């Protein structure tokens, strides 16, 4: 039986918008893309000396296991030129499994729900746009509730192609 997964997408190198759109296209190989949020522009979190990000969230109906989906995301990142050099550093594309149904996994190489999603406006804003009522399986709060309660001070705004920063 298919599972609905939510995938966070981010890019801040090269043609950021095209990178995100190509990642969404390639995710369709891992299942059926059910919905796609607007694109959002956000300032970097963690490592500050880099360009602003474009972010989005996709809901994907998939028959892949959580680990299979993680492998598919890593393969898409590799196809789009992702190089893992600096933690939270610049990247052509970043794909994170935010939620996978109501599954909870805590292993060394895969943690679902994504442990930082509840602290990041650039994740919660697009997630709440496409799935305001999706429930975080640990906190038992909806995406909309988590976004309302968020105290994150980082700027996140809907992306406009002629707009360069938040």
91 is catalytic: yes
Give, in degrees to the nearest 5, the angle at Cα 136 between 97 and 156.
65
Query: CA-to-CA distance for 109 and 93, rounded, in angstroms?
Result: 19
Per annotation, catalytic residue among 16, 94, 120, 121? 94
Per annotation, catalytic residue among 16, 82, 120, 121? 82
- Interacting residues of 61 by C-beta distance below 8 A, sequence separation 6+: 2, 3, 4, 31, 32, 34
Per annotation, catalytic residue among 67, 84, 87, 96? 96
82 is catalytic: yes
Per annotation, catalytic residue among 91, 102, 148, 152? 91
* β 53-62/32-36 pair status: antiparallel
120 is catalytic: no
Place of tokens 């990000």: 53
Assigned token pair, 20: 């995100």
94 is catalytic: yes
Quick check: 149 and 37 in contact, CB under 8 A? no
Please identify every residue annotated as catalytic.
Answer: 82, 91, 94, 96
């Amino acid at each position: 039986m298919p599972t609905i997964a939510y995938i966070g997408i981010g890019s801040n190198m090269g043609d950021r918008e095209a990178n995100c759109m190509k990642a969404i296209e390639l995710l369709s190989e891992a299942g059926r893309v059910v919905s796609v949020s607007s694109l959002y522009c956000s300032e970097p979190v963690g490592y500050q000396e880099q360009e602003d990000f474009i972010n989005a969230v996709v809901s994907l109906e998939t028959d892949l296991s959580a680990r299979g989906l993680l492998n598919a995301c890593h393969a898409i990142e590799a196809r789009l030129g992702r190089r893992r050099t600096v933690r939270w550093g610049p990247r052509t594309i970043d794909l994170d499994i935010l939620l996978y149904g109501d599954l909870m996994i805590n292993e060394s190489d895969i943690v679902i729900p994504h442990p930082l999603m509840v602290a990041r406006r650039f994740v919660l804003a697009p997630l709440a746009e496409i799935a305001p009522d999706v429930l975080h399986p640990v906190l038992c709060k909806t995406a909309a509730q988590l976004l309302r309660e968020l105290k994150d001070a980082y700027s996140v705004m809907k992306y406009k192609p002629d707009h360069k920063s938040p």
